[in-house]
Homo-oligomer: A and B are copies of this chain.
């Protein structure tokens, strides 16, 4: 069961070009992505309505796609405009077309009722493309359900353990209690961690070696599974408006179910454009990949363990945000299903 009436990130915008046919599965549906000659991104069902061959094995002809099994040709709206040997194509011959929106380098598709596609519900992923911020685009494929990765992002106590030598650096993160608030469409988490060693990856941005810092993490985690986070650190005692040794980051991360048991993970973590240079950006990205592999190893092992668990997971205090988010998602899925069955 997925939430259908929402935007899912399906690709980084540079992955969709005029010369390639990109096949990607979202909510267990095969999708073909390509770009028309005027630069618009098209998302069609990657399955010819005739014998169900993938259109991604087809051919671009102008802005149309020719299925290369039996030659049906579809326009960017999914309408079939040619069947070999047929003079007039019946209008029912078509493939599904998905609403698409490209915002700040993320390509979103709307998987539910197209009439309800609402661009005002797109997340504010501004730092993916913003002159004040620098990053490199990241992607990981997980062989686990997306819910477990959402859980991970909703409880940063794991930074102290999973990321001991990368993003963490102190058991104080796990000791500190965040403020958890409901917001429209998600959960807001605010965590301050005071008077701790700087995490290893902040040293790439500022010369904090040997100092102690105050850290903060402020993020919204919104449906279907998007993290929008401001985080940073500042030497203990420095004034709040003293930016000279302050680390400021902004991160956008999003989880898109590929199937019930596999997930697309698109992410970036930006640093301020006025700090460091290109090699700083590259270094931070590489450190992030190391850290995200730490998560993946743990979550993949957890996922295997859950396959045959004979008892439920146990809820502890640090699970507050993830429990609230799971409840919200389940409620909305339930509502959506109820509406469909009316």
Which A positions have Cβ atoms within 8 angstroms of B? 28, 30, 46-47, 49-54, 57, 66-71, 83-86, 93, 151, 155, 157-158, 160-162, 164, 171, 174-177, 297-298, 301-302, 305-306, 308-309, 311, 313-314, 316-318
| CA of A268 to CA of B46, assembled, Å | 33
Q: Which residues of B contact A309 (CB under 8 A)?
A: 47, 52
| CA of A132 to CA of B57, assembled, Å | 39
Q: Which residues of B contact A317 (CB under 8 A)?
A: 83, 85-86
Q: Which residues of B contact A50 (CB under 8 A)?
A: 313-314, 316
Question: Does A314 lie within 8 Å of B93, measured CB to CB?
Answer: yes
Question: Does A70 lie within 8 Å of B174, measured CB to CB?
Answer: yes
Q: Which residue of B lies closest to A50 (CB)?
A: B314
Q: Which residue of B lies closest to A96 (CB)?
A: B311
| CA of A165 to CA of B47, assembled, Å | 23
Report the minimal beta-carbon distance from A11 to chain B, rounded to whole angstroms: 20
This protein's copies in its complex: 3
Question: Does B161 lie within 8 Å of A305, measured CB to CB?
Answer: no
**Interface contacts beyond A57-B298, A57-B301, A68-B164: sample of 7 additional A-B pairs, CB < 8 Å, sorted by A:** A49-B314, A50-B313, A50-B314, A51-B151, A52-B305, A71-B174, A93-B316
| CA of A313 to CA of B84, assembled, Å | 17
Question: Does A69 lie within 8 Å of B158, measured CB to CB?
Answer: yes
Q: Which residues of B contact A85 (CB under 8 A)?
A: 157, 174-177, 317-318
Q: Which residues of B contact A301 (CB under 8 A)?
A: 53-54, 57
| CA of A86 to CA of B53, assembled, Å | 56
Report the minimal beta-carbon distance from A28 to chain B, rounded to whole angstroms: 6
Q: Which residues of B contact A318 (CB under 8 A)?
A: 70, 84-85
6 tightest A-B CB contacts, nearest first? A84-B174, A53-B302, A68-B161, A52-B305, A71-B161, A49-B314
| CA of A32 to CA of B30, assembled, Å | 40
Q: Which residues of B contact A67 (CB under 8 A)?
A: 161
Question: Does A161 lie within 8 Å of B70, measured CB to CB?
Answer: yes
| CA of A93 to CA of B315, assembled, Å | 10
Q: Which residues of B contact A306 (CB under 8 A)?
A: 52
State which of B28, B68, B160, B302 has its C-beta within 8 Å of the C-beta of A54. B302
Question: Does B314 lie within 8 Å of A69, measured CB to CB?
Answer: no
| CA of A316 to CA of B157, assembled, Å | 58
Q: Which residues of B contact A298 (CB under 8 A)?
A: 53, 57, 68-69
Q: Which residues of B contact A49 (CB under 8 A)?
A: 311, 314
Report the minimal beta-carbon distance from A219 to chain B, rounded to whole angstroms: 18
Q: Which residues of B contact A71 (CB under 8 A)?
A: 157, 160-161, 171, 174
Report the minimal beta-carbon distance from A293 to chain B, rounded to whole angstroms: 13
Query: Given that A49-B314, A68-B298, A313-B50 are known contacts, is A175 also in contact with B84, CB under 8 Å in the complex?
Result: yes
Question: Does A302 lie within 8 Å of B171, measured CB to CB?
Answer: no
Question: Does A52 lie within 8 Å of B157, measured CB to CB?
Answer: no
